[in-house]
Structure 1
Amino acid sequence: MYYYIVKGGKPEGPFQLEDLKSMGLSGTDFVKPEGYDDYKELRELPDLCQELGVRHERAAPQYYATLDVRLLAAAIDYFFAFIIYCLAALAVLIKVDDGSAQGKEEQWMMLVFGLGLIPIVKFLVNVIAEGSRLNASPGKLLLQIRVTDMQGNPIGLGRSFLRNVAKITCVITFGIGYLTGFFDRKQQCFHDKIAKTLVIKGRLI
């Protein structure tokens, strides 16, 4: 196993474990083990902390997803929900198509009703996905961002449900609840403040 470190603001390495032991590294030094995509603080790597005698602890989130990235993730989520609708609509067209005028009318009523279910499907997917161990909806997964609590921990289904319900406040305020994220250092929108959540990203994303 080889490791890279940041020293004087510049990456150096590769080093072996024995080299690191002689460097006197602290928990806040950045280290990238072989195979990792990004540097992490040494204190975030439990196995390496044990080898180097450094206290293991979770670092607080430092990098937050901007509002434009979050809106793009929401658009992707709606796209996936629309794909589900299209597949369901195709099944309706095949099943109900009996050639009669009444059959056509039933088709249109079901298709229009189905359009109204798209936001509900997105809501359910977001609650389940963001409350799971993935901590992210499909759109957020694609953009490599995730939802956590204020310490960077998973939020669970209960807080995920609260967060997504609280988004209604952003809608009834004509988007002002979302715009608050522009003026917040941690990019928290109003529903994030209600649920005490963050949307974070990796350091190099």
Structure 2
Amino acid sequence: MRFTPWWSRVMSFLVDYFLVSIPFGVAGLVDPRGTALEVGLGVVTFALLVYNRWYLGGRGQSWGKKLLDTHLHKEAGGRPIGTWMSFVRDVCHLLDALPCFLGFLRPLWDGRRQTFADKIVKTVVTPAETPLPEPLAPNWRAPGRPEGAA
């Protein structure tokens, strides 16, 4: 299995946080005094973070990963990690920052190009062209469930 290069992971991360911070940045430019507009757009920024990093990221591709054509998935089995584990992974990124951001640099020498957070939640990031296991194929259906059943 091929793993995503470090620079691609960094760019994906930066794209994710740049895009979700746009509403809050606009509020700061329009009225820097901390008004209801800033609070409201702060809520929008948080909602975008939840949707992009945790919901879409949990399904395999946040906006940054989609732009850079990469997938986040479980190390074993290749399944998406889900919203909750995507949130847990982001919280675990705090550990990547603790020892002088060493955890964010770890993919440079790690064989599976994982951060400390990836090791903890058992995830990998691969190029989108890497074939994923059969259960992720678009026409996948649960065993015993007839074709076309919901």
User: Above 0.5 in TM-score?
Assistant: yes
1:125-157 alpha-carbon deviations (Å, 9 max, x no partner): 31111113xx11111111110100012111112
Unaligned runs of 5+ in 1: 1-61, 94-106
8 Å contact 2:71–2:128 — kept in the other structure? no
8 Å contact 1:78–1:119 — kept in the other structure? no
User: Which of 63, 74, 77 pairs up with 2:16?
Assistant: 77
Number of residues of Structure 1 aligned to a counterpart in Structure 2: 127
Match of 2:133 in 1: none
1:4-46 alpha-carbon deviations (Å, 9 max, x no partner): xxxxxxxxxxxxxxxxxxxxxxxxxxxxxxxxxxxxxxxxxxx
Q: Does 1:108 align with 2:33?
A: yes
Match of 1:142 in 2: 67
SS across alignment from 1:108: coil
Structure of greater Rg: 1
Q: Does 1:126 align with 2:53?
A: yes
TM-aligned CA deviation for residue 64 of structure 1: 0.9
Distance (whole Å) between structure 2 residues aligned to residue 89 and residue 119 of structure 1: 12
Match of 2:80 in 1: 154
TM-score under structure 1 normalisation? 0.53
Distance (whole Å) between structure 1 residues aligned to residue 14 and residue 42 of structure 2: 16
TM-aligned CA deviation for residue 112 of structure 1: 7.8
Distance (whole Å) between structure 1 residues aligned to residue 23 and residue 72 of structure 2: 24
8 Å contact 1:145–1:202 — kept in the other structure? yes
TM-score under structure 2 normalisation? 0.70
User: Which of 109, 115, 119 pairs up with 1:193?
Assistant: 119
Unaligned runs of 5+ in 2: 131-150
Higher relative contact order (CA 8 A, sep 6+): 2
TM-aligned CA deviation for residue 179 of structure 1: 1.4
Within 5 A, what are the aligned runs for 1:1-205?
A: 62-89=1-28, 93=31, 107-110=32-35, 123-124=49-50, 125-132=52-59, 135-150=60-75, 151-203=77-129
- Relative distance call for 1:202 and 1:137 in structure 2 (3 A) is closer
SS across alignment from 1:109: coil
Distance (whole Å) between structure 1 residues aligned to residue 24 and residue 107 of structure 2: 31
RMSD, matched Cα: 3.0
